Amino acid sequence: DAGVIQSPRHEVTEMGQEVTLRCKPISGHNSLFWYRQTMMRGLELLIYFNNNVPIDDSGMPEDRFSAKMPNASFSTLKIQPSEPRDSAVYFCASSPGGGRAGYTFGSGTRLTVV
């Protein structure tokens, strides 16, 4: 298995533009998580899905952020419009389920909004 795959690895965009981050979880994992990592706040959970259904989106900062999981092998995190304060590394992780299992993280997308 290639692990959790995220794209793009790096994204530089101008303020006001739409940004879409993509994630392919490990096959057979039924939980998917989106995290944001910054120097100031560390690792923040934005949203997680179980069996493609959003379970907890309380970490999504505001309406500019949205996430979808149309099927078991693909998820997107969209920011529209983007702002400089959205600059961060965004990680996707997947889990086979249950708090005992732990997560497998993707390599992350480093987003810079100028």
Partner 1 sequence: AQRVTQPEKLLSVFKGAPVELKCNYSYSGSPELFWYVQYSRQRLQLLLRHISRESIKGFTADLNKGETSFHLKKPFAQEEDSAMYYCALGTNFGNEKLTFGTGTRLTIIP
Neighbours of 80 (CB within 10 A): 13
Strand stretches in the chain, DSSP E: 5-7, 10-13, 19-24, 31-38, 42-50, 53-56, 65-71, 74-79, 88-95, 104-105, 109-113
The answer to whether residue 20 forms part of the interface with partner 1 (CB under 8 A) is: no
For partner 1, the binding residue among 1, 2, 42, 53 (CB under 8 A) is: 42
- Tokens representing 101? 């299992």
Quote the tokens at residue 36.
């944001």
Using the contact rule CB under 8 A, the part of the chain among 14-22, 41-49, 65-73, 79-87 near partner 1 is 41-49
Footprint (CB under 8 A) of partner 1, residues 74-103:
91, 93, 95, 97-103
Q: Is 43 in the site for partner 1 (CB under 8 A)?
A: yes
Residues near partner 1 (CB under 8 A): 31, 33, 42-43, 45, 48, 50, 55-56, 91, 93, 95, 97-108
